[in-house]
Chains A and B, each alone.
Chain A
Amino acid sequence: MTDAKPLVRAFILDNFLMGGDREGLSDHDSLLGRRVLDSTGFIELVTYLERTFGVRIEDHEMVPENLDSLDNIEAFLARKRVSRT
């Protein structure tokens, strides 16, 4: 799970920043605030996280605090892993 961030970063770069500022996305940047994700992109990200990391993301967990930056996503996935063990 410690390897989540590079995988998620690659997914975002490949799917949402094809022609954009690939170098400029920092770990703490807001994906919505920087307009990397629109609403369809957001559900694509959630589907990717569920299928790649084998987690079930509940509706109440779909909040910016969990999903709006690479840092937040990594921390969220780590919490999900702890809660499963």
Chain B
Amino acid sequence: MPALTSAVLDIDCADEVERIAIRLREIVGTKLRRRGVVVAVSGGVDSSVCAALAAHAFGAERVLALLMPERESAPEATALGLEVVTQLGVPHAVEQLGPTLEAIGCYERRDAAIRRVVPEYGSGWKSKIVIVRTSGMALSYFHLVVQSPTGKQREVRLPAPEYLEVVAATSFKQRIRKTMEYFHADRLHYAVLGTPNRLEYDQGFFVKNGDGAADVKPIAHLYKTQVYAIARHLGLPRGVCDAQPTTGTYTLAQGQDESYFSLPLHRMDLALWARNHGWEAAAAAEYLGLTSAEATAVWADIDAKRRATAYLHARPALIAPVDGVGDEA
């Protein structure tokens, strides 16, 4: 077998951009019969690349970029999103989602669940959820990290009901964003782009009917490393190309690898690639800087996440086939 190095993720960016543009035009114009696309731009690399690919495929005037800050968004992310849409020359709208999220109880429901574990949690406090792995990575569970207004941090294990409720409440953010995207798509007769990369799509790192909802997902086949390569190829702002991915969901800064993935993203990319190309964990371990047992646990975690998140990918199930409807109609 060849060496398992970053080179396995190398792609011809110019070819890939053209291939995606051709497919986007086929899917949106011919299959979906929509005349443009809406894309939510967060300031992160995935959504910025999707916006750039859409502008390349359809022309900037047939893209609507949405910036959707809410009460807890990092101002620098919105500024970076604005820099991207300005550079691309795509029309954009800024939708403030704070009042909607407040009205639906996103913040209060989350904070109420947190207060059941940390009673003093309140105004001025910040929080995030981090994943904790047992040694050997055989089991994982979740800690809540809270920070008081004076900057003092505490970490506590989240019981199941509180964990589920915190996640359910914060998922309002992704779902309300998607509601806004479809408002604009409907009024313009556009399709909605989903922006997951391959790691997120494969491992189910998205909210069902939230950021998981879309009409077409242009980069779901690309590893995160490849998305960064395309960002550089397309000349996107340095702040986008160099950004460390964050979830943008919690009030404390949260990297994707501390909330979900078992390795830092580049090594996770390599691990998933290897898993997809028939590598045994033990053979890949050395290249990933892991012990054989750790690599075996990462392989098991990849498989476990696929099983656990199959529900997120599943289309609504029917009791019996309904002829004449859907893709085959």
Contacts and interface: CB of A to CB of B under 8 A. Distances in A.
Interface string B93-116: 000000000000000000000000
Contacts of A62: 134, 139, 141
Interface string B148-168: 000000000111110110000
B158 A38 contact: no
Given A35-B307, A39-B308, A64 B138 contact: yes
A40 B304 contact: no
Contacts of B138: 32, 63-64
Given A62-B134, A63-B134, A38 B160 contact: no
B160 A46 contact: yes
Given A32-B139, A59-B132, A40 B159 contact: no
B187 to A, nearest CB: 38
Contacts, number: 46
Contact of B159 (A35, A47, A63): A47
B140 to A, nearest CB: 5
B134 A43 contact: no
A67 B141 CA distance: 13
Contacts of B279: none
B183 to A, nearest CB: 32
A43 to B, nearest CB: 5
B159 A50 contact: yes
Interface residues of B, number: 18
Nearest to B135: A63
B125 interface: no
A47 B304 contact: no
Given A62-B134, A63-B134, A39 B140 contact: yes
Nearest to A60: B134
Q: Binding site of A, secondary structure by majority: helix, strand, loop or mixed? A: helix
B307 A43 contact: no
Contact of A38 (B134, B135, B307): B307
B206 interface: no
Nearest to A51: B159
Contacts of B158: 43
A42 B141 contact: yes
B141 A46 contact: yes
B139 A38 contact: no
Nearest to A39: B140
Contacts of B163: 40, 43
A47 B161 CA distance: 8
Contacts of B304: 38-39
Contacts of A46: 141, 159-160
Nearest to B155: A59
Interface string A27-67: 00000100100111011101110100000000100111001
Interface of B: 132, 134-135, 138-142, 157-161, 163-164, 304, 307-308
Given A32-B138, A42-B140, A46-B159, 7 more contacts: A32-B139, A39-B308, A43-B160, A46-B141, A47-B160, A59-B132, A59-B157
6 contacts: A39-B141, A40-B160, A40-B163, A43-B158, A62-B141, A67-B139
